[in-house]
Structure 1
């Protein structure tokens, strides 16, 4: 009997998504390749415009009364779970930075210690003042995964870095967005991107083809 193709998720999925993958004829391996740790000291937000690129930063500071801009629907849901309205949602951090820098004279970016430099670069190029608040740290938790993997699901640049510390891969990479894809392309030649920046969309993209 031919072995089922194997999918690795670089984060633990919900039971419903796990069942969906199994029901589609795949074996599934799930490992958390990163761990999120809240920073003990928090700065005060100085500006009206606040940008958040990850749901990991959504619960650490008081966002009431601010103009909130974020990346992805999951981040939006996490912010609005605290009774805070999001002004606009973007597909990636560069798009968000370009919009906010064109509308405000100053802004605050709430992020992790490990991050891409796209937001800072946009604000520097447009000569707009930017306050950076590092609300959490991302710890890499690499793990070697034996055996062949047909597809790997990636949800953050840090997860990509952690995976490739102990693994090589020549199957199909499915990424939650273009920022994550850019990190994957440091290690392999090509990668697919989900249709939207949600975990569900990454899984759906992976299930479009069996091989």
Structure 2
């Protein structure tokens, strides 16, 4: 029976997708998230950019009201919608969201709620196109490296930080199943065995695992 390692602890229904396909699972959290104490001059934000669900959770803790959300990822947008927030734009990655803002919302002013590991594409595109924005760091991502003696038939990665954490103590000598191209770019530094999910969602990563390993 093939066995995979997930660099993020999965929900029960997600585990069942693997186990019901007779694929063994080992899981751990390759990264940890810590919320930062921050202050804003205004507790009401007109247009807020969120590239992760963690940023939404951070402002939720501070009771900050947001009129319009601009989100990266289906799960981020779904989390916002579940809390009654209006989604004005969504995209699969930060670059796509930035280009969408430039094309359709260039006259607006934004507040970008970010983490310490955020990439540069979105801020750079906004600056290049003279779009006004403020940025507040609201959470920190830290690596949680762990050595594994076992070999796996695949590793599930959900962020570039997860790749960095795993490879700090382990070689990446098996297939990397990645949630998106940004994560895959980091994994390609260590292997050419890359499979990218069709959509940036955990379930889609698992679907790729199942389709590739189910009959092994």
Could you tell me the TM-score, scaled by structure 1's length? 0.90
Q: Which residue of 2 aligns with 1:139?
A: 142
The structural deviation recorded for 1:124 is 2.5
- Spell out the pairing of 1:7-156 with structure 2 (5 A cutoff): 7-44=4-41, 48-61=46-59, 62=63, 64-102=65-103, 103-105=105-107, 106-156=109-159
- Whether contact under 8 Å (1:59, 1:82) holds in the other structure is no
- Whether contact under 8 Å (2:45, 2:66) holds in the other structure is no
The structural deviation recorded for 1:190 is 4.2
Q: Which is further off, 137-146 or 127-136?
A: 127-136
The structural deviation recorded for 1:34 is 0.8
**Structure 1 residues 203 and 104: CA distance shift in structure 2, 3 A:** same
Q: Which residue of 2 aligns with 1:159?
A: 162
- Whether contact under 8 Å (1:49, 1:100) holds in the other structure is no
- Whether contact under 8 Å (1:149, 1:169) holds in the other structure is no
Aligned residues: 208
Partner Cα distance (1:159, 1:111) in 2: 17
Question: Unaligned 5+ residue runs, structure 2?
Answer: none
SS at match of 1:20: helix
**Structure 1 residues 80 and 168: CA distance shift in structure 2, 3 A:** same
- Whether contact under 8 Å (2:6, 2:26) holds in the other structure is yes
SS at match of 2:167: helix
The structural deviation recorded for 1:47 is 6.0
Partner Cα distance (1:144, 1:53) in 2: 30
Partner Cα distance (1:124, 1:75) in 2: 24
The structural deviation recorded for 1:65 is 4.7
**Structure 1 residues 96 and 15: CA distance shift in structure 2, 3 A:** same
Could you tell me the TM-score, scaled by structure 2's length? 0.88
Partner Cα distance (1:44, 1:10) in 2: 37
- Whether contact under 8 Å (1:51, 1:96) holds in the other structure is no
Q: Which is further off, 186-195 or 149-158?
A: 186-195
Q: Which is further off, 104-113 or 160-169?
A: 104-113
RMSD, matched Cα: 1.8
